[in-house]
Copies of this chain bind each other. A is one copy, B any other.
Amino acid sequence: MEKLEPYYHTVQYYETDAMAVVHHSNYIRWFEEARLDYLKQAGYPYSTMEENGFMIPVLGVSCEYRKAVHFGETVRVETEIIKFNGLKFTVVYEIYDKECQNLHARGSTEHCFLSKDFKPVSIKKQAPELYQFFWNKTLHNR
Protein backbone atom coordinates (compact mmCIF):
# COMPACT_ATOMS: atom_id res chain seq x y z
CA MET A 1 0.00 0.00 0.00
CA GLU A 2 1.23 3.43 -0.91
CA LYS A 3 2.63 5.74 1.75
CA LEU A 4 0.50 8.80 2.46
CA GLU A 5 1.97 12.31 2.63
CA PRO A 6 2.54 14.00 6.01
CA TYR A 7 0.32 16.98 6.81
CA TYR A 8 1.77 20.48 7.08
CA HIS A 9 0.25 23.31 9.14
CA THR A 10 1.57 26.87 9.35
CA VAL A 11 0.98 28.40 12.78
CA GLN A 12 -1.46 31.31 12.78
CA TYR A 13 -1.21 34.30 15.10
CA TYR A 14 -4.62 33.55 16.62
CA GLU A 15 -3.30 30.14 17.70
CA THR A 16 -0.77 31.71 20.09
CA ASP A 17 -1.44 32.64 23.70
CA ALA A 18 0.02 35.09 26.22
CA MET A 19 3.13 32.87 26.64
CA ALA A 20 3.82 33.71 22.96
CA VAL A 21 3.62 30.03 21.99
CA VAL A 22 0.83 27.95 20.48
CA HIS A 23 -1.96 27.26 23.01
CA HIS A 24 -1.95 23.57 23.88
CA SER A 25 -5.59 23.04 22.85
CA ASN A 26 -4.69 23.76 19.23
CA TYR A 27 -2.58 20.63 18.93
CA ILE A 28 -5.81 18.66 19.37
CA ARG A 29 -7.22 20.61 16.42
CA TRP A 30 -4.10 19.86 14.36
CA PHE A 31 -4.62 16.16 15.08
CA GLU A 32 -8.08 16.56 13.55
CA GLU A 33 -6.66 18.42 10.53
CA ALA A 34 -4.07 15.70 9.99
CA ARG A 35 -6.56 12.85 10.52
CA LEU A 36 -9.09 14.25 8.04
CA ASP A 37 -6.32 14.99 5.54
CA TYR A 38 -5.13 11.42 5.94
CA LEU A 39 -8.61 10.02 5.25
CA LYS A 40 -8.95 12.37 2.27
CA GLN A 41 -5.61 11.21 0.83
CA ALA A 42 -6.75 7.63 1.35
CA GLY A 43 -9.84 8.39 -0.75
CA TYR A 44 -12.34 8.73 2.10
CA PRO A 45 -12.95 12.46 2.64
CA TYR A 46 -15.02 13.10 5.76
CA SER A 47 -17.63 15.07 3.81
CA THR A 48 -18.30 11.90 1.77
CA MET A 49 -18.59 9.90 4.98
CA GLU A 50 -21.18 12.33 6.33
CA GLU A 51 -23.06 12.11 3.02
CA ASN A 52 -22.97 8.32 3.34
CA GLY A 53 -24.59 8.73 6.72
CA PHE A 54 -21.92 8.13 9.25
CA MET A 55 -19.69 10.09 11.58
CA ILE A 56 -16.40 9.34 13.33
CA PRO A 57 -16.65 10.98 16.76
CA VAL A 58 -13.72 11.20 19.11
CA LEU A 59 -13.91 8.87 22.12
CA GLY A 60 -10.63 9.90 23.64
CA VAL A 61 -7.59 12.05 23.06
CA SER A 62 -4.13 12.38 24.55
CA CYS A 63 -1.18 14.63 23.83
CA GLU A 64 2.31 14.92 25.24
CA TYR A 65 3.97 18.31 24.70
CA ARG A 66 7.74 18.33 24.18
CA LYS A 67 8.79 21.63 22.59
CA ALA A 68 6.71 24.77 22.12
CA VAL A 69 5.74 25.93 18.62
CA HIS A 70 5.74 29.63 17.68
CA PHE A 71 3.84 31.87 15.32
CA GLY A 72 4.95 31.55 11.70
CA GLU A 73 6.54 28.14 12.09
CA THR A 74 5.34 25.25 9.95
CA VAL A 75 4.80 21.89 11.59
CA ARG A 76 4.71 18.48 9.95
CA VAL A 77 2.23 15.98 11.34
CA GLU A 78 2.79 12.26 10.79
CA THR A 79 -0.34 10.18 11.15
CA GLU A 80 -0.78 6.45 11.57
CA ILE A 81 -3.74 4.16 12.31
CA ILE A 82 -2.55 1.68 14.88
CA LYS A 83 -5.63 -0.25 16.00
CA PHE A 84 -8.83 -1.30 14.26
CA ASN A 85 -11.35 -3.97 15.15
CA GLY A 86 -14.23 -3.04 12.85
CA LEU A 87 -15.92 -0.92 15.51
CA LYS A 88 -13.22 1.35 16.89
CA PHE A 89 -9.83 2.59 15.79
CA THR A 90 -6.89 4.49 17.22
CA VAL A 91 -4.80 7.07 15.42
CA VAL A 92 -1.37 8.25 16.58
CA TYR A 93 0.28 11.52 15.63
CA GLU A 94 3.78 12.97 15.79
CA ILE A 95 4.23 16.71 15.33
CA TYR A 96 7.67 17.70 14.01
CA ASP A 97 9.15 20.90 12.71
CA LYS A 98 9.14 21.29 8.94
CA GLU A 99 12.59 19.74 8.53
CA CYS A 100 11.63 16.89 10.84
CA GLN A 101 14.51 17.47 13.24
CA ASN A 102 12.59 18.24 16.45
CA LEU A 103 9.62 16.42 17.89
CA HIS A 104 7.21 19.06 19.23
CA ALA A 105 4.47 16.75 20.44
CA ARG A 106 2.89 13.38 20.04
CA GLY A 107 -0.49 12.00 20.85
CA SER A 108 -3.41 9.81 19.92
CA THR A 109 -7.15 9.81 19.35
CA GLU A 110 -9.62 6.96 19.63
CA HIS A 111 -12.77 6.80 17.48
CA CYS A 112 -15.84 4.76 16.64
CA PHE A 113 -18.29 4.84 13.74
CA LEU A 114 -21.77 6.28 14.34
CA SER A 115 -24.86 6.78 12.19
CA LYS A 116 -26.43 10.23 11.97
CA ASP A 117 -28.80 9.29 14.80
CA PHE A 118 -25.74 8.56 16.97
CA LYS A 119 -25.98 4.76 16.83
CA PRO A 120 -22.98 2.44 16.24
CA VAL A 121 -22.45 1.56 12.58
CA SER A 122 -20.91 -1.59 11.12
CA ILE A 123 -18.68 -0.21 8.40
CA LYS A 124 -17.96 -3.78 7.31
CA LYS A 125 -21.46 -3.72 5.77
CA GLN A 126 -22.04 -0.05 5.06
CA ALA A 127 -18.59 0.91 3.81
CA PRO A 128 -16.72 -2.29 2.95
CA GLU A 129 -13.95 -0.47 1.08
CA LEU A 130 -13.31 1.76 4.08
CA TYR A 131 -13.34 -1.35 6.25
CA GLN A 132 -10.75 -2.91 3.96
CA PHE A 133 -8.65 0.24 4.03
CA PHE A 134 -8.54 0.29 7.83
CA TRP A 135 -7.90 -3.43 7.92
CA ASN A 136 -4.94 -3.17 5.57
CA LYS A 137 -3.52 -0.14 7.34
CA THR A 138 -3.47 -1.90 10.68
CA LEU A 139 -2.69 -5.41 9.50
CA HIS A 140 0.66 -5.43 11.24
CA ASN A 141 -0.87 -4.46 14.54
CA ARG A 142 -3.29 -7.29 15.04
Contacts and interface: CB of A to CB of B under 8 A. Distances in A.
A57 B19 contact: yes
A20 B55 CA distance: 12
Nearest to A40: B72
Contacts of A58: 24, 65
Interface size class of A (residues with CB under 8 A): 35 or more
Interface in A1-34: 12-14, 16-21, 23-26, 28-29, 32-33
Interface string A39-60: 0000001110010000101111
18 contacts: A12-B33, A13-B18, A13-B32, A13-B46, A14-B23, A14-B32, A17-B18, A18-B21, A19-B57, A20-B20, A24-B61, A25-B28, A46-B71, A46-B72, A57-B65, A58-B65, A59-B65, A61-B62
